[in-house]
Amino acid sequence: MTIDYPDGFIYESPDGGETIYARQVGSDQRHLHYESEKVKSLHESLLEDKMWGDIRRLAKTNVPLADAVDKMIMIYNLVKDRK
């Protein structure tokens, strides 16, 4: 059986089309070709979660950052209670 790849790439999706990877025929190295808005949003959320975790860890040993986090938490609680 012969399969024709006109552009020389094979396109693969491990998640039903939410992300699509491309690799050249004969290669096992692939690169991201497409990412749905749903997946992009998830990645952004994970990066933001990581950032807040880093902030919390750094605030344990950094007084100015700890003060800023305390103020942010106070403002958050004030705003949250107004809903």
**Structure confidence by residue, pLDDT tens digits, 35-59:** 999 999 999 999 999 999 999 999 9
CA-based max dimension of the chain: 67
Is the distance from CB of 26 to CB of 19 less than 8 angstroms? Answer: no
**Structure confidence by residue, pLDDT tens digits, 19-29:** 999 999 999 99
pTM (2 d.p.): 0.56
Q: How many whole angstroms separate alpha carbon 57 and alpha carbon 68?
A: 13
Order across the sheet with 9-12: list the strands. Answer: 9-12, 19-24, 30-35
